Structure 1
Amino acid sequence: MIDKGKLQFKKIKFLFFHKKKEREREKEIDSWPTVSSYKGPLYEFRCT
């Protein structure tokens, strides 16, 4: 028998962790000098 509450908590924890990782990655990309100075395919790709 799977505890639904525990499962839900695991899911939320996973999503939260995933979002955190995503945000860290975005920050990392934002700190690349190319992004602000070079508004090319990479910039468009990020905006979509």
Structure 2
Amino acid sequence: MPNGESEFNLKNDIHAANVVFGSPIQLWQVPRNVYGKMRVSLAELNEE
């Protein structure tokens, strides 16, 4: 984890995280400082 920070979803379901990290799928993790800049409202996400 970047800079030794904790991962919110990992703490919520350790078993699920182990399944994901142990699988052969490609994993792409977006750092918090990046997704924190992408502010979008629920209304905007629901627009078609």
State the TM-score, normalized to the length of structure 2: 0.30
Higher helix fraction (1 or 2): 1
Rg bigger for which structure?
1
**Larger RCO, structures 1/2 (Cα 8 Å, 6+ apart):** 2
